[in-house]
Structure 1
Amino acid sequence: MPQLCAAWGCTNRSTIENRSRGITFHRFPKNKELRRQWEVALRREGFSASESSVLCNEHFKPEDFDRTGQIVRIRDGAKPSIFSFPPHLQRVCFIVTGL
């Protein structure tokens, strides 16, 4: 069964074509705390990663990867941070100034 990226709006699937374009897929961490941080980063209400849930490399910074071996791996502690959220999922930041 082809893997589909779990990120909101991402249509990347694990196919030979995508693999040839350098797209890699990475399972959610087994560490419960880090796994929860990945789930929260997705901003998908009610989402809980399964054993087969994956994210593609397009949701990580280049420095989040270890490319020294034959297999591209996510560095320990790295969290996904690159997403294209629709307006209703964007975070609003307020700046509070002293009056």
Structure 2
Amino acid sequence: MPDFCAAYGCSHERNNSLSLAPFLTFLRFPKDNSLKRQWELAVKREGFVAAERSLLCSEHFKPDDFDRTGQIVRLRHGVKPSVFNFPSHLQKVCAPFG
């Protein structure tokens, strides 16, 4: 079963085919509730709550967000997705809820 990127307007999907660009990876939402909520707000989808299988593709992160020092490329601690192509009505900055 394919999994799709949860970002607004993103059509990337993870499946078993080799059709994806080799550099594209998929990241699960964090288990830490505070950071998870920040990711949920970052995707700017009204009422969105990440499920256990919710993903974001690596295109929604800056290159500096990744730690490439070891054999496995990992997302740096505390990083939030910040690269999106929102329509104009969603481009204003939203303050996170307390």
TM range (shorter): 0.7 to 0.9
| Alignment gaps of 5+ in structure 1 | 93-99
Q: Judge conservation of contact 1:38–1:80 (CA < 8 Å) in 2.
A: yes
What SS does the corresponding residue of 1:17 show, helix, strand or coil?
coil
- Please give the secondary structure, in 1, of the residue aligned with 2:59: helix
Which structure features the higher share of helix residues?
1
What is the number of residues matched between the two proteins? 91
Larger Rg: 1
Question: How many angstroms apart in 2 are the aligned matches of 1:64 and 1:89?
Answer: 23
Task: Say yes or no: does 1:18 pair with 2:20.
Answer: yes
CA contact (8 A) 1:58 1:82 kept: yes
Calculate the TM-score normalised by the size of structure 1: 0.84
CA distance, structure 1, for counterparts of residue 69 and residue 3 of structure 2? 24
1:57 maps to which residue?
A: 58
The aligned counterpart of 2:37 is 36
CA shift digits 1:11-38 (9 cap, x unpaired)? 1111422152x10000000000000000
Mapped contact 1:4–1:11 kept (Cα < 8 A): yes
Counterpart for residue 90 of structure 1 = 91
TM-score, normalised to structure 2, is: 0.85
SS in 2 for 1:55: strand
1:71 & 1:25 partners in 2: Cα distance? 14
TM-superposed CA distance for 1:60, in Å, is 0.4
* Equivalence for 2:96: none
Give identity over the alignment, percent.
60
What's the CA shift for 1:2?
Answer: 1.4
Query: 1:38 touches 1:79 (CA, 8 Å); kept in 2?
Result: yes
* Structure 2 gap ranges (5+): 94-98
**1:18 is paired with a residue of what secondary structure?**
coil
